[in-house]
Amino acid sequence: MTTALIELVVQGGKATIPDVGVFAVAAAIIVAGAIGVVVARNPVHSALMLVMTLFGVAVMFVLQQANFLAAVQVIVYAGAIVVLFLFVIMFLGVDTQEDIAKEPLRGQRALAAALVAIGMTGLLLLGQVSKWTTGQPHVAGSDTGAPNVNLLGKSLYTTYLFPFEATSALLIIAVVGAVVLARRPPATPDMPDMPATPDMPDMPDMPDTSEVAVATPAVPITGAHDAGVDA
């Protein structure tokens, strides 16, 4: 049974049993982490499950000799993106248990599950049935299956040089956009779209107090003026 399964997985008898074992363990970690992201009630737990899935994907990259991408996956995703997620979760204070038992829309989950099942079946069939080679091979250089950071770097700086430069512009725009979005709006008094609801009950009181404050010291003066005018 086990050997038959391994022979089913192995292509051409080249994969060894450690390969299959690593693949199986990493696949289990990936799927368990992904399910954990979806079903966790606490957003912090979701973020930690996401880290688990990302490490599993990095293992898959190593298993396919994409060593540079595995390192970048761990550094950028687990090191930067998930930390950003956790920072925002803590900053907003939404790290509380969430009631996911009740369904806001009737029948939404059943419909979503049906749609995803249909899509998943179609994709699996497509992956098994279709021919993969569609166009001209080796556009950017041959992936020989060996560790190939040199080839990746050469391709990135020759064939894909313009997208690489455009990426830098994208990152600059993202940084500027994040600063603009997360900046606290300037406190101008006549801002029309500010949430004015806390101030609204105070608004009738404000003119009263100011009128009283103005009127009280003004009584003798205005009285004198009034007297003068009357006289």
> Residue from 5, 17, 90, 120 that binds another protein (CB under 8 A)?
120
* Stretch of residues binding another protein (CB under 8 A), selected from 17-25, 196-204, 205-213, 223-231: 17-25
Using CB under 8 A, count the residues that bind another protein: 94
> Residue from 5, 17, 97, 159 that binds another protein (CB under 8 A)?
159
Query: Tokens standing for 86?
Result: 């956790």
Is residue 42 classed as helix, strand or coil in its secondary structure? coil
Phi/psi at 112 (nearest 5 deg)?
A: -65, -45
Q: Which is nearer to another protein, 64 or 210 (CB)?
A: 64
What is the footprint of another protein within residues 161-220 (CB under 8 A)?
A: 163, 167, 170-171, 173-175, 177-182, 184, 195
Query: Tokens standing for 187?
Result: 């406190």
What is the footprint of another protein within residues 78-117 (CB under 8 A)?
A: 80-81, 84-85, 88-89, 91-92, 94, 98, 100, 104, 108-109, 112-113, 115-117
Contact residues for 54 (Cβ-Cβ < 8 A; gap 6+): 33, 73, 74, 77, 78, 82
Q: Which is nearer to another protein, 12 or 186 (CB)?
A: 12
Alpha-carbon distance 53 to 31, whole Å? Answer: 7
Query: Tokens standing for 175?
Result: 């940084």
Q: Which is nearer to another protein, 88 or 213 (CB)?
A: 88
If one asks whether residue 132 binds another protein (CB under 8 A), the answer comes out as yes
Alpha-carbon distance 56 to 46, whole Å? Answer: 15
> Residue from 5, 25, 31, 191 that binds another protein (CB under 8 A)?
31
Say how many C-beta atoms besides its own lie within 10 A of residue 54's C-beta. Answer: 20
